[in-house]
Structure 1
Amino acid sequence: MPTRKKAGNGCAPLPTRSSASISFIFPDVPDEVCKERLRQRNAAGKHEFSVSEAEFDRISSHFQPPAADENFNLKIYPAAGT
């Protein structure tokens, strides 16, 4: 799982700027599980595009698990079977 990066995307302070309740749904799935699912999806050939593991790594490097201090109504869904 990627380590926590410094805030700066403008999302963290959003719940504190309004009275709205924001739910953040986070699928807590290990990268290897995601990559296996990606390999299966790519092999099925039912999509117009496929994503390589290198592209997955590059894209997922921008994501991080949410922190409790971000004030989201956090919903974490663990990987099935964990």
Structure 2
Amino acid sequence: MARVLMYTTAICPYCVNAKKLLAQKGVSVEEIRVDQNPQLRTEMMQKSGQRTVPQIWIGELHVGGFTDLWALDKQGKLDGLLQNN
């Protein structure tokens, strides 16, 4: 199973939904809370080019946010990414 890294905040409903979707797939998430450390948000923005959370990586692939993750699942591509990265 692929390593999944997710930058989140405590009060983000999209973060909750992303973690729920991945949990349904049996995937554990390495969570980095950017609301607890501003330097981590800066790191996230440099890596992703995005300011919003969640920002999700499956292995080395930057997937994007929750809507991107959800779209991959609806297209039938998420399971393969989780297995192959």
Normalised by the size of structure 2, how large is the TM-score? 0.27
Q: Which has the higher strand share?
A: 2
Which structure's relative contact order is higher, taking Cα pairs within 8 Å and 6+ residues apart?
A: 1
Q: Which has the larger radius of gyration?
A: 1
Normalised by the size of structure 1, how large is the TM-score? 0.28
